[in-house]
Amino acid sequence: MAKVHSFVNNPYQENTYILFDDSHECVIIDPGMYTAEEQNAVVNFIADNQLKPVLLLNTHCHIDHVLGNKFIFDQYGLTPQFNRGESETLAAVVAYAPAMGFRYEVSPQPEVYLPESGTVTFGNTTLELIFAPGHSPAHLCFYDTAANILIGGDVLFRNSIGRTDLPGGNYSQLVKNIEEKLFILPDDCTVYPGHGPETTIGYEKQHNPYL
């Protein structure tokens, strides 16, 4: 059964996730590490638990979720995987990062793009791809059926949803995707969002003011 470990990174307080299982293989999702301290925390966790990183996944390609892509590539030789529809979002980062005061090490390009549906696997774990744009043009969520956990990126938060005022954002599309694709998951599915604390599908169905 996959386990999740999270790290809060960069000025946006972005959640970087490591998923790992008994095979000791692990996946790094949305590496937002920015400072040396943040980089060390991730590397040390991987080393201390004798994990082998085999995949680098991005739910989407806004700056706070890709700041560490180059670092993970340098450390572990992994190129990012995301949906091709996020390519322009990633390409734009290099232009706007300096204006936001960020030192951005340019992310490597994918060798493999993720489809809108299907699965990715590592170790003994299978992650189902859920295509849920609205916050960004081609946002993916990763659902582990066996562990009943969703790595949700910036789609659904505790008592909130992703912002839709950035390029490629679309409010009605986002709400529709949450209601039609995420709210069909079990009520006790734990959602690990891109920012803030985890929540459950059932809690958000009951309490989320946007839905």
DSSP 49-80: TT-EEEEEE-S---HHHHTTHHHHHHHH-PPE
Once rounded to an integer, what is the mean pLDDT over residues 132-150?
Answer: 98
Residue 147: give its domain's CATH number: 3.60.15.10
Q: What is the pLDDT of residue 1?
A: 92
67 Rama sector, left if φ>0, alpha if ψ -120 to 50, beta otherwise = alpha
What pLDDT, on the 0 to 100 scale, is given for residue 198?
98
How many domains, the chain?
A: 1
CA dist 60 and 62 (Å) reads: 6
Mean predicted lDDT score pLDDT of the chain: 98
Q: In terms of pTM, does the model score above 0.95?
A: yes
What confidence tens digit (pLDDT) does each residue in 84-124 have?
999 999 999 999 999 999 999 999 999 999 999 999 999 99
Confidence of residue 169 (pLDDT cuts 50, 70, 90): very high
pLDDT on residue 140: 98
Q: In this predicted structure, what is the pLDDT of residue 118?
A: 98
pLDDT (tens digit per residue) in 16-75: 999 999 999 999 999 999 999 999 999 999 999 999 999 999 999 999 999 999 999 999
pLDDT value for 189: 98
Q: Give the per-residue pLDDT at 207.
A: 98
pLDDT tens string 149-162: 999 999 999 999 99
Query: For 196-203, what is the mean pLDDT?
Result: 98
- Domain ranges, residue 79: 3-207
User: In which residue are the tokens 């993720």 written?
Assistant: 114
